Amino acid sequence: MQELKKLPLINKDIIRQNPLDFIREDKNINNLQWKSTSGSSGKPFKVPKHYFSDAIEVILGYRAWSFGKFSYRLREPAIVIRSFSPKENEPIHKRDIIRNFWYLSPYHINDGHLPIFLKTFKKSQAKVLKGYPSSVYILTLLLKKHNIKLPQIQTIITSSETMLPKYRNEIESYWQCDVLDWYGQNERTVTVQQCSYGNYHNNDDYGICEIDTDNTIIATSLNNDIMPLLRYHTNDKAIPLHEKNITCECGRAMHIPFKGIEGRQDDILYKEGKEAIPTINFYNLMEKFQNIKQFYILQEEDLSVNMEISENQPLNDNELLQLKEGIIQRLGNVPLQINVVKEIQRNKQTDKVKIIESKVKL
């Protein structure tokens, strides 16, 4: 590890300037397939896609599904509420017969489509549910509203979005099963998987995970043999461990690099004077408002804040006042606008719900 730290850090901007410099010299660049990453900066960023790398990713994913008490076996059915955006007039469900995945649209988790969701769960006989934290959370609230239990699900796998404490508390309380969070990137550098004891284990045979002094995840790929990124600045923020070199009761010898994922560096909000405020401060604030279903915060370049909230029950004037005071307490006297919406919209390109976004330039 000390030898690795002698190398300089790289990031998207550096790679974007000369992407071919990071490709293996013996690879024919004319035959490469490129994959766009989602990101939030709006700047295009592509990485080469390779079957071998994708295959390893899938294998590790299947292994991760058995990090809970339920032991998943290849090609057992799984419900997937992510990565599926049906077009108008298309069914909101589909099946991948080869992998035995039963997809349901994260855009249609509502009362009107609940019968289709329940029918798909029953028909699939799946014991694994995989989805974005937000999609599983919204489904949980819907089932809770109708007092419907689905005891067939024994493991829930979440990924691609920040797992908010509010989401986790609601999901774990209602489903009463393992809720295992997964972290990775399209760049194929590191993957980190939570076990049933709550610890995040790095797949050490896949990549090397460092945590920088500002809690940024620095990743080195051991898997991507086309574009092997070394000491790649992921722009993702980890929640640091209080102890070093901890062991886990699950018995796995895999490195535990952090306590959890806080979010992306792009998601950091700034108070007066452009002082950065960790997003966990806002997650803790929002936990106090049980009538708020979801929220989205956008901070403009001038530090003004536009906030959208969707409600479980309408907030009264006192609750709205407390919410405004809580934000001002954290950000100072910045212009603030709060709008109540029916639902927080998913990004049509990524399918994800972005929670906090900042346009502030430093």
Domain boundary at 265, 293, 315, which? Answer: 265
Domain boundary at 224, 244, 265, which? Answer: 265
Tell whether 205 and 342 lie within a shared domain. Answer: no
Tell whether 284 and 223 lie within a shared domain. Answer: no
What is the structure's pLDDT at 40? 43
Tell whether 212 and 335 lie within a shared domain. Answer: no
Averaged pLDDT, 159-185: 92
Asked if 227 and 241 count as a contact pair (C-beta separation under 8 A), the reply is no
User: Would you put residue 338 in left (φ > 0), alpha (ψ -120 to 50) or beta?
Assistant: beta
What is the structure's pLDDT at 345? 86
Q: CATH number for the domain including 19? A: 3.40.50.12780
What is the structure's pLDDT at 316? 92
Identify how many contiguous H helices and E strands the chain contains and give both numbers.
7, 20
Tell whether 168 and 181 lie within a shared domain. Answer: yes
The pLDDT of residue 58 is above 90: no
Tell whether 110 and 244 lie within a shared domain. Answer: yes
Residues β-bridged to residue 194: 200
Averaged pLDDT, 146-154: 96
Tell whether 191 and 312 lie within a shared domain. Answer: no
Alpha-carbon span 163 to 182, nearest angstrom = 10
Percent of the chain at pLDDT > 90 equals 52
First to last CA, the chain: 31
What is the structure's pLDDT at 32? 76
Q: pLDDT for 67-93, tens place per residue?
A: 999 989 889 999 999 988 888 889 999
Tell whether 92 and 149 lie within a shared domain. Answer: yes
Asked if 254 and 205 count as a contact pair (C-beta separation under 8 A), the reply is no
SS percent in the chain: helix, strand, coil, step 5: 25, 25, 50
Alpha-carbon span 303 to 285, nearest angstrom = 19
Asked if 103 and 95 count as a contact pair (C-beta separation under 8 A), the reply is yes
Averaged pLDDT, 117-123: 97
Tell whether 166 and 142 lie within a shared domain. Answer: yes
Domain boundary at 222, 246, 265, which? Answer: 265
The pLDDT of residue 44 is above 90: no
Q: pLDDT for 293-312, tens place per residue?
A: 999 999 999 999 999 999 98
Tell whether 261 and 285 lie within a shared domain. Answer: no
The pLDDT of residue 118 is above 80: yes
The pLDDT of residue 41 is above 50: no
Tell whether 221 and 239 lie within a shared domain. Answer: yes
Provide the number of structural domains found in the chain.
2
Task: Name which of 329, 319, 279 is nearest 299 in CA terms.
Answer: 279
Q: pLDDT for 317-336, tens place per residue?
A: 999 999 999 998 888 888 99
Q: Which long-range contacts (CB under 8 A, 24 or more apart) does 206-212 make?
A: 206/56, 206/60, 208/1, 208/4, 209/255, 209/257, 209/258, 210/1, 210/4, 210/5, 210/257, 211/238, 211/240, 211/257, 211/258
Tell whether 257 and 286 lie within a shared domain. Answer: no
Alpha-carbon span 354 to 111, nearest angstrom = 23
What is the domain extent for residue 47? 4-265
Q: CATH number for the domain including 295? A: 3.30.300.30
Give the β-pairing of 128-131 and 155-159. parallel
Alpha-carbon span 261 to 215, nearest angstrom = 10
Tell whether 108 and 14 lie within a shared domain. Answer: yes
Averaged pLDDT, 243-257: 90
